[in-house]
Structure 1
């Protein structure tokens, strides 16, 4: 798995206890983590969905609602994250 060009090597993009990314402060899973996971599990989306379901369950135990946790942790798995391309004018 390669790393994003704009990202410092060693960035892990893991969740903190409040479910925000430790590297970029975005809601976790952040866009970079989603792309990494999607790339790594590109041939096994069911496994990725199972992994993200476990994160969803942990977030719900910590107080996140089922609807928000499902959308945030599992909703993106069946729709690949899109890399935003900068356009020059």
Structure 2
């Protein structure tokens, strides 16, 4: 997945999970809430990320849940966000 999808439903999320697990059949999906501060930034006026909002967050995984020192270097991630419908541009609803 390489783009933002507005209006994602449970079937789309399920398809994504199925595709990831098919490609990485030795993996397990993890659903973890963000921890600590979530920072949001207005779109940049210049540079390669011009015109994109930025959201920075941390996810904390319990130490006893992971085996191996560098296990978290071998992962993929996708973010599911909830946004109020009245804050989404009409052409994306």
TM-score by length of 1: 0.29
**Which protein is richer in strand relative to its size?**
2
TM-score by length of 2: 0.28
- Structure with higher Rg: it is 2
**Which protein is richer in helix relative to its size?**
1
